[in-house]
Amino acid sequence: MPKNSNISNPVIRRLPRYYRFLGELAKQGISKISSRELSEKMKLTASQIRQDLNCFGGFGQQGYGYNVAELRCEIGKILGVDKGRKAILIGAGNLGTALAMHINFEKSGCKLVGIFDSNKSIENNPLGDLTITDISKLEEFCKKHNPEIAVLCIPKSATKDIVDRLIALNIRCFWNFSHYDINIDYGNIIVENVHLGDSLLTLSYGVNNLLSEE
Amino acid sequence: MPKNSNISNPVIRRLPRYYRFLGELAKQGISKISSRELSEKMKLTASQIRQDLNCFGGFGQQGYGYNVAELRCEIGKILGVDKGRKAILIGAGNLGTALAMHINFEKSGCKLVGIFDSNKSIENNPLGDLTITDISKLEEFCKKHNPEIAVLCIPKSATKDIVDRLIALNIRCFWNFSHYDINIDYGNIIVENVHLGDSLLTLSYGVNNLLSEE
DNA sequence: AAAACCTTGTTAAATTATTGACTTTTGAAT
DNA sequence: ATTCAAAAGTCAATAATTTAACAAGGTTTT
């Protein structure tokens, strides 16, 4: 990796959004864009865009701007969209099912290779291109296929145990939709928590403030 | 509202997490906690907790700490969990269905009162306590029930039109799961974007960095 | 009842993040 | 060719956020 380390979190969290907007521009047939134009579309400052991109290298050309396709490609590389890392989904309830169907894992550098659930009554049911496997076969499967990422759509109460099992199986990256915060003291762990309940509460706060300050 | 205004975004985004942890503590029968103890559980600094809480008032007692139930209640009020504001869901595909089943709207100060979809073949199908209504009846329904919040689980291409219709119907709060960024120049709009694709890409960045820096 | 100990609320310092200003380079027009 | 305008890259200044320090006020113990 080039000068990747020490990139601040706010910058990293903006990268997917840049990537998304650049994809949209490319689809519209726009081949070049300046930081100013992009800043207007994305509602942020041109300065920030230039600053962000320069964490990773000079992708633009002075006096001209950025080549949309090229910049998108570079950000894609930074995000690792071409890596195709193996991911497994734990929990095939409503949310797990929705993710399996709705998320384009390939576009995000992942490949869903297994789906597990503890509910025996749905074992072997098809879900997307895969079939649901009983959670008891987790160890066997992982030792064979060595997935790197686990998507957790399980109840809070089950999460800690599952995380322990997954870490023992050398999985250290988690996309966590469970109601449980994985900020435990395992070293070298990458967690992306998605707490939908927290998100809705944040909206609720906003609703209250908008509707009462008038 | 007390001194609510001017609360910074980072503070607001931490409130739901406090609320969640306090709920957990209460469930465990813990009745008092100090900022230091809470900071250890939540992996943040005691200073930050005290600072955050004091944006809204002095909920603690010097020399003693915070009363768990009371503090939770206060944060709940700040977040508006008791308001029961009416929400509608637009889009009953995989994700919309999962949200309707999986999210406890009541616990977050909302009440799901209607579900809409443009797919005629699922019209009147049951979903949770409700049935799916055709999107053509959106106006009629909203004029009658006046919902305040819309949850958007629709394709990117449909989003702008729907937002326009909803705004015309006086809805100004959006929980947006569509691939479209609502940061348009309507005034007085509250949007909580949940871009699952961005979240996965953020994880992907982390995976790459963790697994390559060794 | 007094002393020792905690823990909050609050102020100040340090850190981090964002914005603005400037310099240099490039492309286009004359 | 030369000049002008536009835009990236970079550095400096500002703003925001987090952390640390401390003083005031309770609680508990002796």
Closest chain B residue to the Cα of A94, Cα to Cα: B98
Domain boundaries, chain B: 9-78, 85-198
Q: Indicate whether B214 pLDDT > 60.
A: no
CA distance B4 to A204: 14
Give B137-179 pLDDT, tens digit per residue.
999 999 999 999 999 999 999 999 999 999 999 999 999 999 9
Distance of CA A16 to the CA centre of its chain: 9
- How high is the pLDDT of residue B3? 36
**Positions of chain A with pLDDT under 50:** 1-4, 214
pTM: 0.94
Q: Compute the average pLDDT of residues B6-31.
A: 96
Q: Indicate whether B188 pLDDT > 70.
A: yes
Q: Indicate whether B17 pLDDT > 90.
A: yes
Give B105-133 pLDDT, tens digit per residue.
999 999 999 999 999 999 999 999 999 99
Cβ of B9 near strand D (distance < 7 A): yes
Listed by number, the residues of chain B in 52-81 with a beta carbon closer than 8 Å to a beta carbon of chain A are 78-81
- How high is the pLDDT of residue B213? 52
**What is the three-state SS of chain B?**
CCCCCCCCHHHHHHHHHHHHHHHHHHHCCCCEECHHHHHHHHCCCHHHHHHHHCCCCCCCECCCEEEHHHHHHHHHHHHCCCCCEEEEEECCCHHHHHHHHHCCCHHHCEEEEEEEECCHHHCCCEECCEEEEEHHHHHHHHHHHCCCEEEECCCHHHHHHHHHHHHHCCCCEEEECCCCCCCCCCCCCEEEECCHHHHHHHHHHHHHHHHHCC
- How high is the pLDDT of residue A13? 98
Cβ of A59 near strand D (distance < 7 A): yes
Torsion of CA B74, B75, B78, B84, to 10 degrees: -90
With a CB cutoff of 8 Å and minimum separation 6, the contacts of A156 are A178, A179, A180
CB B176 within 8 A of CB A159: no
Q: Which of residues 37-66 of B touch strand C (CB under 7 A)?
A: 46-47, 50-51, 53-54, 58-66
Return the CATH number of the domain spanning residue range A9-77: 1.10.10.10
Contact criterion met (CB < 8 Å) for B80 and A205: yes
What residue has its CA nearest to the C1' of C6? Answer: B63
Q: Nearest CA to A104 among A214, A203, A160, A23?
A: A23
Q: Compute the average pLDDT of residues B90-115.
A: 96
Q: Compute the average pLDDT of residues B40-49.
A: 96
A85-198 CATH choice from 3.30.70.141, 3.50.50.60, 3.40.50.720, 3.40.50.620: 3.40.50.720
CB atoms within 10 A of CB A118: 17
B9-78 CATH choice from 1.10.357.10, 3.40.50.1000, 1.10.10.10, 3.30.43.10: 1.10.10.10
Contact criterion met (CB < 8 Å) for B207 and A83: yes
Q: Which of A200, A210, A214 to probe by mutation at the B interface, max B CB count within 10 Å?
A: A200
The fraction of chain B above a pLDDT of 70, given in percent, is 95
Contact criterion met (CB < 8 Å) for B207 and A196: no
- How high is the pLDDT of residue A6? 86
- How high is the pLDDT of residue A3? 36
A121/chain B closest Cα distance in angstroms? 19
Q: Nearest CA to B76 among B35, B107, B44?
A: B107
- How high is the pLDDT of residue A187? 76
Residue B81's pLDDT band, with cuts at 50, 70 and 90, is: very high
Question: Touching check for A213 and chain B: CB below 8 Å?
Answer: yes
The fraction of chain B above a pLDDT of 90, given in percent, is 90
Token pair in block for residue B169: 């119907």
